[in-house]
Structure 1
């Protein structure tokens, strides 16, 4: 009996079409037996179970109109017998590889089995496709397999009725349920699903996943019991409410939907095997002014209401046309919660042998984050599955720890507004103390005074006009009237220090220096001692003082020298300077007149240091440090030592004492490690937001990500010898079409490609392979030299000077047109599938009425006609006939003629 797949069954297939050779729809039942199993008896018992359940005899194939399902009278399930003599029992990684093998939807069985015989234990691994299986099916099949195996061993008949397994046909949603869900989701906009620890950009589609296991702490377990009484809610609601709160404290919401799986089986069909589960979009409002009690009450009400209407799958409310959003990501929710009130250890016996079920994942995740909570009598286990394209294991581990500690505190915070809850864990507080890095032993002003007393004859400032020792410098700084000095550089040093005088009454330098300039000087001074200590500057060190007078860079060089009782040297060569401060572009010109670099410290700040430049500096013996000075700020806030070329790419480092940086959310509350927010800086004792994004790392270092994406994208990754770029800058410029395009302006290294097109193609391929999607430039312009401003690329000038110029490195702009015949044939196919006349080469398949299922059918048609290894993702990325023709005619597929 052949039937067309339902929409939710088609969605399973579409996911595999989008990401071929994936195991995202594979479910497993794995158990371990302390003894030996008979492979022949197991094979026969498996046949008994398959004959019992109609779903297990269902096969699937892809037809012209999509997925088709067929129920067979008999299906032979393969059982592979494998010996694992080198270990007591088969390891998890080997089981995971077995589970991860995809099913070919070509009419074969959708269930397979393997028996692993270890030195001490046997392990059975059943793998089934989600089309015929769900989590509840696993328990039923395991129970039936035990029954059949034991009957076979004993030579006894199967129990009465065993051959008559339950069959639960797909039911249409009721009008009442459809009405409920429309009301439940009315006005919902899925724009609050991201977490502040999500990775940047829309990742390439692989659906790779990992799992993190966490046993709830005794404190959290006890809190659950108290919360059940206080909230009059079951365990599932308590745990789910804490999940909502944790997601909200990590950036989701305030209008938030979490997916909750619910079985569509009624009381009489609990033993039915098949795909009988719907993911329900459970909605709750987690506003900052709502109390924990109010949120839990809403979650409780929504939980019971939604479970009363499980017959409507979430797919019903997903738009067929998902526009330019990543097709693999659910547009209603990205986070899932599942609760199973059973013992996750699930011990049982099989033919009088002890056995235990093992939890093994398939290595994929279709959702960003899934909490699977299971409980025994004395503890609860969280199996947290996450998509590794979206989240890192460290961030998930930290999030789960915060969930545990938040849950433990909730009984005392039921009437606390969500906006006042803390999600900091004990580990977070150890990594980033509340008061930040502290070093109050000495201010810069005091350091200069101390050196003037202990080493008065030491040279503090060396200029072309002469030397100024610490004694003379201190006399002029502390003089009642500001001295008149002919030497501009020496005068600037005295003026900067007079700004720091503790006496700020009328007539003092602090007042005369001007508000803005004085604040800038004080900010640089506040971090100077910390910077000197962070880079290991020795007492009496000479620092090159080369930046223009009055600039923040000049003040930093001066104060760094004075902080370590050293000399700020403003000379032509500065060959005796042990510390050189410069921008990354200035570092590319070292050593130059500065002399050999061996044993000297090179400090750069601003943009990332190009790896090729860092590699050369390290090879010449320099000790390299990169600092983070936010754009528009006068002072450094963090610094890190660079020991490898790759390490130069990271902005940030150990926060400097006196900088007092913090990372804050939209409500200005400090964020714990791993969460991205705005970088806030101390300004005369009060925090002040910058325009930059940053996060704390678990080791207490600060990581910055440059300006907000709308302002600038850093492309120092371009600057590598193997891709032939000597320097690069990126600006959002307008091309000839007046659309904003992220454009890379590059200077080719000597001896590399002279052809602009080849050069642009080389860099474009490198960017696509190494940069997040949001940072990949839309075009590349080759220039003879980059205009600089204060040692950095002058992006405003680049954008203005090259506005309207083609951005692909060639003269004509745009990609070479694919063959007209190929494009024309695709226009015809577009029209056939969309049943629309008048389409042209630029008609977008999805905006013209196409949807995922129709798109999958179109891809199958083109794939069959051309032999090209196409995926549904290719259509999402190239939705017009012209773009799809360019893909087909490109180097990956080499299709030249029309598609029949």
Structure 2
């Protein structure tokens, strides 16, 4: 027995990861029109097994690792079955997928499947003994020997005796040095795509494939690119593959695996595992022309060809791992150029036959492109790991790949970052979604209100408690306000602060500011004086219409709000022009300094016009004014009814937290439209659920959890999920959540006269299904940030196709139906111990738990060192609650994303905009006290099994500082050592432990508990 090589061990480790499967099985199969002689098939197989030592090689999975031996003889025979023709594919697939045991037995089996009037023959060989080149050799020799036996002849002379073999030499120092230099500082975590699904902790390596044929025009383009760039066709196709991966979020430092045959001219027909998958590393520079990228791709490709003696598996111990991921490789995507693959139809023993391939059912890589050029054209067979990429994702990949190749030919010197990697299907979906042009009903909101006043002056405009205010009364009070502001020296375009609770007087004051030609600044009277003082000073407000005292030292004149019923001494004057800002609103900045956003009249008019049409808002429909006035979404509640002749129903602050108060308002005032954040809806849904049927409900400002969406839809309301940043005027996208309430909760599509697109890290526009930063252009765009040109320049930009736009900092992706799925904030993505974690995703999972009313996750500690995830959950602190949350999160999240601590609270602190107060929660997490037990070595008492497992950890990791809670993978452990650990545990206890089990239980204590639990099973 000899020890297996490193690359053979790599196949063994992969098999240990998914035991009981044929993940490493390869096969050769063909259909024959007629019946083959079974005894003759057995003779042929025996000849070929005796001829090729690789087919007689067996492997043993032992306590010390993997070993191998070449047997002098290995009896083999065809298994015979019969089945209906329509079941042949399924039976063959099952035969191919059945696992081999590495117990010293044959790693080859054969089947003759009799299906009506035809036979299907299949030979399955383990990858340890075989590769695709071997399959071609075996096919040719099988046909030649069978034909000879059919004719009554002996084995052909050229096939007699033992075939040539290849004993691969150990890697040379020069080869190792070359690849170490190539892979220095490589970061495998950057290879993850921004589409599909996140990796799972326990893989099954289930695979599928998509086959795609290029159009004749595309084939001609590829041929012309090859000529123009003077490189082999494989290099052109590989360079385009790098661009395809980069356009889908990988890189820019990319490593692609490429299988390369290590046989020389003398051993060209050697059967065995003689392929090395070389890691081809290349950085994509968006500013570089495709011509330059191809040149560098050529250098990488040919550099690898001259250093094929080093399997990448020999270098894996030197490559950084990503946390406790099951992956331990430097690539997740593979490029395989296989010219002249399809073996044509042939005859076997005089009978017509043709090659046949069974569906393997496994994929070792996220995505593997097989480029199959032939005289008839170019085909792409895209194999993929189904846990990560769906069939639809891969179909989109191959369509975009073809479109990319065609577009590259237009200009070889164009920067590759300017190339849109879109298929025709992408253009159709996004073109339809962004076809939002529609007329705006009014030049401005004050013009709309003025028209409503003229049409129905005595209609009720505002219901404020028991008061009913007509449109004429509201307008007259606004006119008085405008008159007083002009008398106070307020000039057109200047800022007037409004500091008062929601009321009919506040509504009139906002209109009055506009009638004075000024811009209003909404401030919350309940905010701290320091915040109000800053905003007054930063905005330059000279006058404040206020019902509370101004902060001490404020350089601002205070005026009381005009009471309803005030009569102007002169006409209101002309309506404000659309060039002046409508309002200035402050939100918290990333640095803690509030930033003011300037919203123009046309932007606000576009928003109100869109929702007036979308919600069919007209007549005396009642809209609840529920949101804090300083929160921008309050403006929609205020002006939607007043612009359309409806009724504005003023709600007290208690209605946001007390469902019984809200329920009473809805009943008394016949409210038809309500808007609130998910936080508010969660607090009131229990009381108001019976009152929402037939009403229009808007939910936005935070992600809408599916559980809450179902609760709201079940009330019978018309539920809309709305999305938009302040900088694009309240809402930029809206989507109806339909009655079944079971589908994906999306943000719908862009509202009227709005364009939405997504960009990747290099600024490239992204197609359907790819996650990127959401950008918004169109009529709702703000003028920018008040007195902060540097921030305006950073967040607002000009796109060559879409014009001026705003970078939201939100992550999203387009779905196939042209709607947007929101995926949290880009700046709430954290990296802990090599794993990228989206905190919003963790919160979404926790919110799906039936006992959780609200959730907020923060990072405590140094992310580069001792940081942990702390989850604050709003729930009842019952016994076992934390354990249930831990189990719930662990069942749905990667292990790295499961919070290390759960803090159950009565109420999560909120900001003035009814959103979770993350800064406060971060402070609480940092100030928490965690009790760690202090145990000396003498005091440490372990049960015998845990002590034995701990000793194995110490031996395999060669460390003396291992304790019961030491993480195997964070202490120098890797897949090979883990496989040896599993073997030692099986020898010690009789329990079979998978690699995935060690990833899930990486400490001596938890692993011992796992083994103990397995021993107790019947």
TM (normalized to structure 1)?
0.88
In 1, are the aligned partners of 2:433 and 2:749 still within 8 Å (CA)?
A: no
Map 1:98-117 to 2 at 5 A.
Answer: 98-117=95-114
Q: What residue number does 1:676 align with?
A: 771
| Distance change >3 Å, CA 208–CA 456, structure 1 → 2 | farther
CA contact (8 A) 1:211 1:386 kept: yes
Structure 1 residues 335 and 463 mapped into 2: Cα distance closer, same or farther (>3 Å)?
same
Q: Aligned Cα RMSD in Å? A: 3.6
1:841 maps to which of 954, 961, 964: 964
Does the 8 Å contact 2:286/2:762 carry over to 1? Answer: no
Q: 2:607·2:729 contact (CA, 8 Å) conserved in 1?
A: no
Aligned to 2:800: none
Distance 1:567 1:460 in 2: 5
Q: 1:220 to 1:86 in 2, by over 3 A?
A: closer
Matched with 1:402 is 400
Q: Does structure 1 retain, via aligned residues, the 8 Å contact 2:584–2:597?
A: no
Task: Give the Cα–Cα distance (whole angstroms) in 2 for the partners of residues 785 and 512 of structure 1.
Answer: 31
Equivalents in 2 of 1:186, 1:802: separation in Å? 38
Partners of 1:385 and 1:818 in 2: CA distance? 51
Structure 1 CA distance for aligned equivalents of residues 942 and 615 of structure 2: 60
- Determine the C-alpha separation between the residues in 1 that align with 2:858 and 2:450: 48
1:433 aligned counterpart, secondary structure: helix
List gaps (5 residues or longer) in structure 2: 486-497, 521-573, 587-594, 652-663, 784-803, 831-837
Of 813, 818, 823 in structure 2, the residue corresponding to residue 695 of structure 1 is 813
Question: What's 1:898 paired with?
Answer: none
Separation in structure 1 between the aligned mates of residue 267 and residue 986 of structure 2, nearest angstrom = 41
For 1:437-836, list aligned pairs within 5 A.
437-442=435-440, 445=444, 448=449, 451=452, 458-464=459-465, 466-469=467-470, 481=482, 487-492=504-509, 494=511, 503-504=576-577, 510=582, 516=596, 518-519=598-599, 525-535=605-615, 537=617, 540-562=620-642, 565-570=645-650, 573-575=665-667, 576-588=670-682, 589-590=684-685, 592=687, 596-630=691-725, 635-643=730-738, 647=742, 650-682=745-777, 683-684=781-782, 686-707=804-825, 708-710=828-830, 712-714=839-841, 715-719=843-847, 724-734=850-860, 739-748=866-875, 754-755=878-879, 758-773=880-895, 775-789=897-911, 790-801=913-924, 803=926, 805=928, 819-836=942-959
Query: Secondary structure in 2 aligned to 1:568?
Result: strand
| Matched position secondary structure for 2:241 | helix
Deviation at 1:37, TM superposition (A): 2.5
Q: Does the CA contact (< 8 Å) of 1:203 and 1:390 recur in 2?
A: no
Q: Deviations over 1:63-91 (max 9, x none)?
A: 2221011111222335332322252x723
* Cα distance change, pair 111–478 in 1 and its aligned pair in 2 (3 A): farther
Q: Which secondary structure state, in structure 1, belongs to the residue aligned with residue 679 of structure 2?
A: helix
The residue that corresponds to 1:859 in the other structure is 982
Residues of 2 paired with 1:233 and 1:767: CA distance? 51
Please state whether the residue corresponding to 2:157 is helix, strand or coil: coil
Per the TM alignment, residue 466 of structure 1 is displaced from its structure 2 partner at its CA by 4.0
Conserved in 2, the CA contact under 8 Å of 1:729 and 1:744? Answer: yes
Name stretches of at least 5 consecutive residues in structure 1 with no aligned partner. Answer: 896-900
User: What's the CA shift for 1:443?
Assistant: 5.0
**Equivalent position of 2:83 in the other structure:** 84
Which deviates more, 601-610 or 626-635?
626-635
C-alpha distance in 1, partners of 2:253/2:933? Answer: 48
Q: State the secondary structure of the residue aligned to 1:713.
A: helix
2:123 matched residue in structure 1: 126
Cα 1:237–1:599 shift into 2, 3 Å: same
**In 1: Cα distance, 2:766 partner to 2:823 partner:** 16
Q: How far did 1:96 drift?
A: 2.7
SS at match of 2:266: helix
Partner of 1:14: 13
SS of residue in 1 equivalent to 2:19: coil
The 5-angstrom pairing of residues 35-184 of structure 1 reads 35-85=34-84, 87=86, 90-91=88-89, 93-164=90-161, 165-184=163-182
Q: For residues 439-488 of structure 1, give each alpha carbon's deviation from its aligned partner in whole angstroms, at most 9, with x where no partner exists.
A: 33015636556655665655443333744555666777799935789933
Distance 1:540 1:670, change over 3 A: farther
Residue range with higher mean Cα deviation, 463-472 or 704-713: 463-472
Distance verdict in 2 for CA 1:654–1:55, change over 3 Å: same
1:21 deviates by: 2.2
Q: CA deviation at 1:622?
A: 1.9
Contact 2:433 2:819 in 1 (8 A): no
Moved more, 591-600 or 228-237: 591-600
- 2: CA distance between counterparts of 1:194 and 1:378? 34
Change (3 A) 1:813 1:465: farther
Q: Give the C-alpha shift of residue 739 in structure 1.
A: 4.2
Name the CA distance, whole Å, in 2 between partners of 1:448 and 1:692.
Answer: 34
Partner of 1:299: 297
Aligned 8 A contact 2:319 2:330 in 1 = no
Q: What CA deviation, in whole Å up to 9, does each residue of 1:719-747 have, x standing for no partner?
A: 45xx5514131221538999433233334
Structure 2 length normalisation: TM-score? 0.79
SS in 2 for 1:660: strand
**Residue 23 of structure 1 contacts residue 101 of structure 1 at CA under 8 Å; is this kept in 2?**
yes
How many Å apart are 1:698 and its aligned residue? Answer: 2.4
User: Structure 1 residues 394 and 282, CA, compared in 2 at 3 Å: closer, same or farther?
Assistant: same
> Residue deviations 1:119-160, cap 9 Å, x none?
343222222111000011111111122222222333221101
- CA pair 735-270 structure 1, distance change in 2 beyond 3 A: closer
Distance 1:46 1:398, change over 3 A: same
In 2 relative to 1, CA 84–429 (structure 1 residues): closer, same or farther, beyond 3 Å? same
Kept after mapping to 2: 8 A contact 1:26/1:99? yes
